Amino acid sequence: MSRSTASAEAPTGPVVAVLGAESTGKTTLTHALALALRARGRAAVVVGEYLREFCDAHGRTPRADEQSGIAAEQWRRIEASARGGAIVVADTTPLMIAVYSELVFGDRSLYDAALRLQRACVCTLLTGLDLPWRPDGLQRDGPHVRAPVDTLLRDALERAALPHAVVYGEGEARTAAALAAVAGALGLDRDREAGAGRDDDAASVQAGARPQRLTGRCRECLVPGCEHLQATAPPAGQSPA
């Protein structure tokens, strides 16, 4: 990653980063969140995942020596889009490249630069593993890699003390959960208090609030109290099997 792209200076417009394992709805959520922000009178743009473009252009997944360049290009596009002042909703950041570099190649060298850049994002959303896995060409390795990727992401964010919100649900519920998670950092709460939002909009966002942490040990990542448990938790008053 070049010196210029490794700068941790905050871009002009706020950046919302959407991270997550494969087939967890990152691309769908970035577009839905940008649309929801525009509906609330905010200028918002989406920066797509450069890795997808790379795989389509080369007909293969990247080699270990190409990972750093892909990460640099992803951030260059984020910075370029942010210069216009709009909210940037980024479908992944260099941190995702760092995670896959460790998972696939055993290379942890990209983490330091990726985490410095991640600090420039005003919000980090992590998509939950509650959606079913679906194939998507070269970019999908299989459902068995989702939990390891999720664990590496959580570990990296926690090591760097970077706050993040885990987003669950389908369709509008997932978008509402994302809006609730980014509301404070983007000033959506102030807009609502000023009358820019409707009461039913506020209710829908509150209904999609951050998932409640549950007790126990997660079957997906084996982390006690992990939000994954929400998807398989028994009804209130009923003991787990």
pLDDT at 69 over 60: yes
Residue 175 lies in a domain: yes
Q: What amino acid occupies position 37? A: L
Domain shared by 169 and 221, yes or no: no
Domain shared by 188 and 94, yes or no: yes
The encoded tokens of residue 119 equal 């600090």
Domain shared by 52 and 34, yes or no: yes
Domain shared by 62 and 127, yes or no: yes
- DSSP for the chain, please give it: --TTTT--PPPSS-EEEEE-STTSSHHHHHHHHHHHHHHTT--EEEE--HHHHHHHHHTSPPPGGGHHHHHHHHHHHHHHHHTTSSEEEEE--HHHHHHHHHHHH---TTHHHHHHHHTT-SEEEEE-S-SPP---GGG---GGGHHHHHHHHHHHHHHTT---EEE--STHHHHHHHHHHHHHHHTHHHHHHTT-S-HHHHHHHHHTPPPPP-SSB-TTT--BT-TTHHHHPPPTT----
Residue 4 lies in a domain: no
What pLDDT score does 240 carry?
Answer: 43
Domain shared by 81 and 176, yes or no: yes
Residue 135 lies in a domain: yes
Residue 8 lies in a domain: no
Residue 21 lies in a domain: yes
What pLDDT score does 123 carry?
Answer: 95
pLDDT tens profile 175-190: 999 999 999 999 987 6
Domain shared by 239 and 190, yes or no: no
pLDDT tens profile 143-185: 788 999 999 999 999 999 999 999 999 999 999 999 999 999 9
pTM score of the predicted model: 0.77
Domain that holds residue 60: 15-210
Domain shared by 58 and 111, yes or no: yes
Domain shared by 180 and 121, yes or no: yes
What pLDDT score does 215 carry?
Answer: 40
Residue 58 lies in a domain: yes
Rounded to the nearest angstrom, the gap between the alpha carbon of residue 213 and the centroid of all alpha carbons in its chain is 19
Band of residue 114 on the pLDDT scale cut at 50, 70, 90: very high
Residue 89 lies in a domain: yes
pLDDT tens profile 125-140: 999 998 887 876 555 5
Looking at residue 64, which CATH number applies to its domain? 3.40.50.300
Domain shared by 103 and 160, yes or no: yes
Rounded mean pLDDT of the chain? 81
pLDDT tens profile 192-239: 655 544 444 433 333 333 443 334 444 444 444 455 555 444 444 444
What pLDDT score does 174 carry?
Answer: 94
Domain shared by 157 and 224, yes or no: no
pLDDT tens profile 77-110: 999 999 989 999 999 999 999 999 999 999 999 9
Domain shared by 151 and 221, yes or no: no
Total domains in the chain come to 2
What pLDDT score does 23 carry?
Answer: 87
Q: What amino acid occupies position 1? A: M
Domain shared by 178 and 239, yes or no: no
